[in-house]
């Protein structure tokens, strides 16, 4: 760190298995990738190329190479997985990921309806194919509200099937899944999930500051957070350790 | 495209006359221009240097040169046209555009009141001077609501006067003109306009995602959309072709 | 300026003592700093590295060097000052600023409660140590509403203690201090402050466009404005001089 400040909570160090920041890259330019890594690389654990943006991004290989040089794992958004799956092209997707040297994959059903057992079989297959799997729970459809026991059931089954992390869905705007339409956290749901699923294996999508704050207060500075905008990595890191107004008092020794 | 996905709707290719994405550059740095073009150039048809930003932008010529190298036409925001016009300096404006090698011009009356016949004469003159004209319909003044027949009358007259496209005004924030104060589309207005004016000649300013979605659902993936933020070009392109949650089902063959 | 437009109000020129734009850098990359300066350098008077971001920013010295090359003074956010102070480490903070070549400092009490006389002693000490001091008035705590006479009392005392400017607090989101929770200006408060404190010595934090507009209309194009996002420097500069819809009529000679 740049200054000798006392009473700063201890963050896990890269490469982290807990305390992750997953960044949402929804089509950044090549220079911009180098740019945000110049100041924030130590705090970037995983990058998601949001939804289907990888399909239309020019010079994709060059961009992926920069992440690779920085040892930052990248995956394509779950919407792309679903787009291949719904077209009966899962084999093509696997081939494409291998061609691009992407070895992390998101398995989701945010825009499609599939049987949960089938979803787990996809997870198992992808693990067998050598991928590290992140699987996402929670629909992108606002009208489809799942009761907590279903979240727990699905998360458990997906971890058993081989997912390294389960992602709690929030959509890019942060207003669905574990959040209400207003972006407010469904606190009862979150707390119930935590009675059964280890926090270390959940990646909470939390694009809004108030959402990040909620999880920091609940689970501490090393909570796994995702869908962080590139410009918000440094602000989030400052907030994680109590150097933003919102968390200023969180770790202070009050005597 | 980067992957072999089936059932993707066919986008027109650059240089496009329909299916345009007009990008709002409101003062980007030189490096940033190169940066967003590195991944998004094939989807950028026209760039607007928003309102009067061109007047205060340092190193403007260098910036324009980068767009020129990439064969992307640039124009100055209509507010600048109006600022020259209201000061009785239209000749100076024409000279300035020629000096900067800008051959696309926006003719608008968002902040000034001029007789519509006069507006059309300006369009005619600028066409005669060798410019390609985009003319904008709809006031920036929220209290000034034009009935649909007026929109149609003005759009028709401006196309007859020589405009290549008519722009349906939305302001940068997307809350005026064809939208209500909340950003909601004035759907009746849009549909009535479309009964008389060909969609191919209308450029809809649609800075918000919900607005873009409305026009994609109404007019298909090749609708002309404008006031797109540079960071939203790739996300919009993914949404245009069904690779974002919102449009996932739009082009799928449902059997 | 890039074009010969008449009736443009006269802006002060860099290095300015009035008409300041203070930019909030909350963790920009190295390239991005060069990038925004390429087009906006003449309008950037002071840069704040927001809250505690300087603590976690990688390659901080390299970043500071770029600002130095461009003769732009930089200071660390007040939250960092408070973090050192509350840990009884003010000496360490002074040493750190000297090590990093930062000679501008913010003295604030947004997240901590200190006696106002003590705050003034810190200002005096820092002035004596050779720093130029900006001191901030107004709590980050929404529930803590100070009456106008208190604002005036504190601002006066801080200027007497040696502050070069007093900052009217708004938080990054612009919803506290001189603003209501909705971001609306507390107009009575602002106007009362201005009866006693010279506008030239106040730096108004005004991250939102409507807030910037309020102060431009009240105090003219050379008002001191702060917490401006890097991407908003050029748009603000255009707005300052009447080249944005919102201020189009502000300086026009109406005959």
pLDDT digits 0-9 by tens, A20-55? 999 999 999 999 999 999 999 999 999 999 999 999
Residue A254 has a pLDDT of 63
- pLDDT(C255) > 60: no
Give B80's contacts in chain C (Cβ within 8 Å).
3, 243
Q: Nearest residue of C to residue B32 by CA position?
A: C35
Of A234, B172, A246, nearest in space to C175 by CA: A246
Query: What H or E segment, with its residue span, contains residue C226?
Result: strand C225-228
Handedness of CA C94, C97, C101, C104 (dihedral sign): negative
- Chain A residues closer than 8 Å to B251 by CB: none
H or E element that contains B160: helix B148-161
CB contact under 8 A, A53 and B243: yes
For A50, which residue in chain B has the nearest alpha carbon? B235
Cα(A236)–Cα(A229) distance, integer angstroms = 10
A81, B244 contact by CB (below 8 A):
no
Q: Indicate yes or no: CB of C59 within 8 angstroms of CB of A38.
A: yes
For residue B118, the distance in angstroms to the closest alpha carbon of chain A comes to 43
Residue B42: list chain A partners with CB under 8 A: 58
Which residues of C are less than 8 Å from B111 in CB distance?
245, 248-249
Q: Are the Cβ atoms of C56 and A43 closer than 8 angstroms?
A: yes
Among residues A248, B51, B233, which one has the least CA distance to residue C171?
A248
Please tell me which residue of chain B has the smallest CA distance to C37: B29
Residue of chain B nearest A95, judged by CA positions? B3
The answer to whether A113 and A146 have CB atoms below 8 angstroms apart is no
The reply to whether residue C234 touches residue B27, judged by beta carbons under 8 angstroms, is: yes
How far is it, in rounded angstroms, from Cα A122 to Cα A116? 10
Residue A241 in contact with residue A220, Cβ under 8 Å? no
Please give the ipTM for the structure prediction.
0.95
Domains of chain C, CATH where assigned = 21-247 (3.20.20.70)
Q: Which chains touch C (3 or more CB pairs under 8 A)?
A: A, B
Contact: A43, C59; criterion CB under 8 Å: no
Q: Where are the alpha helices (DSSP H) in chain A?
A: 30-40, 53-56, 60-69, 78-86, 90-100, 116-128, 148-161, 187-196, 209-219, 233-240
Contacts of C59 in chain A (CB under 8 A): 38-39
The mean pLDDT of C128-155, rounded to a whole number, is 90
Residues of B whose CB is below 8 A from A27: 39-40, 231, 233-235, 238
Using 50, 70 and 90 to split pLDDT, how confident is the model at A255? low
CA dist., res. B49 & res. A123, Å (int): 47
Residue percentage of chain B with pLDDT more than 90: 89
The 10 Å CB-count burial string (b at 16+, else e) for B26-52 is bbbbbbbbbbbbbbbbbbbbbbbbbbb
Which subunits count as partners of chain A given 3+ CB pairs below 8 Å?
Answer: B, C
Beta strands (DSSP E) in B86-199 are 104-107, 132-137, 165-168
Residues from A in contact with B at Cβ < 8 Å: 26-32, 35, 50-60, 63, 79-80, 82-84, 86-87, 89, 92-93, 96, 100, 110-112, 140, 171
Check pLDDT > 60 for residue B234. yes
pLDDT of residue A140: 66
pLDDT for the residue numbered B140: 66
Do B131 and B74 meet the contact criterion of CB atoms below 8 Å apart?
no
Read off the pLDDT band of A187 (50, 70, 90): very high
For tokens 């009358």, name the residue: B153
Nearest by CB to residue C248, choosing from B32, B53, B79, is B79
Query: Could you tell me how far CA C41 lies from the centroid of its own chain?
Result: 16
Contacting residues of C for A34, CB less than 8 Å apart:
29, 31
How many angstroms away from the CA of C74 is the closest CA of chain B?
20
Q: What is the pLDDT of residue C140?
A: 67
pLDDT in tens, B208-226: 999 999 999 999 999 999 9
Contact C30 A40 (CB under 8 A): no
Please name the residue of chain A whose CA is at the shortest distance from the CA of residue B30: A31
CB contact under 8 Å between B235 and A60, yes or no, is no
Contacts of B252 in chain A (CB under 8 A): 86
CA-nearest residue of chain C to B110?
Answer: C245
* pLDDT tens profile C30-55: 999 999 999 999 999 999 999 999 99
Can you give the pLDDT at residue A138? 87
CA distance A5 to C15: 34
pLDDT digits (tens, 9 = 90+) for A142-153: 777 889 999 999
- Residue C87 in 3-state DSSP? coil
Determine which of C30, C234, C242 to mutate to test the interface with B (most B C-beta atoms within 10 Å). C234
């Amino acid at each position: 760190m740049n200054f000798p400040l006392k009473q700063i909570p201890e963050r896990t160090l890269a490469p982290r298995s807990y305390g992750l920041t997953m960044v949402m890259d929804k089509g950044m330019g090549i220079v911009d990738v180098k740019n945000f890594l110049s100041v924030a690389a130590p705090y970037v654990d995983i990058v998601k190329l949001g939804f289907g943006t990888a399909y239309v991004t020019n010079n994709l290989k060059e961009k992926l190479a920069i992440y690779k040089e920085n040892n930052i794992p990248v995956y394509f958004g779950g919407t792309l997985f679903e787009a291949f799956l719904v077209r009966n092209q899962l084999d093509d997707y696997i081939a494409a990921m291998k061609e691009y040297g992407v070895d992390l994959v998101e398995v989701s059903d945010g825009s499609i309806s599939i049987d949960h057992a089938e979803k787990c079989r996809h997870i198992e297959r992808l693990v067998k194919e050598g991928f590290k799997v992140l699987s996402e729970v929670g629909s992108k459809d606002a009208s489809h509200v799942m009761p907590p026991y279903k979240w727990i059931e699905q998360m458990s089954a997906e971890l058993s099937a081989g997912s390294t992390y389960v992602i709690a869905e929030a959509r890019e705007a942060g207003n669905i899944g574990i959040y209400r339409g207003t972006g407010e956290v469904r606190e009862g749901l979150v707390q119930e999930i935590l009675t059964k699923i280890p926090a270390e294996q959940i990646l909470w999508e939390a694009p809004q500051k108030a959402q990040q704050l909620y999880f920091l207060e609940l689970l501490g500075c090393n909570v796994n957070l995702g869908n962080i905008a590139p410009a918000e990595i440094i602000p989030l890191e400052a907030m994680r350790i109590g150097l933003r107004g919102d968390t200023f008092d969180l770790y202070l020794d009050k005597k």
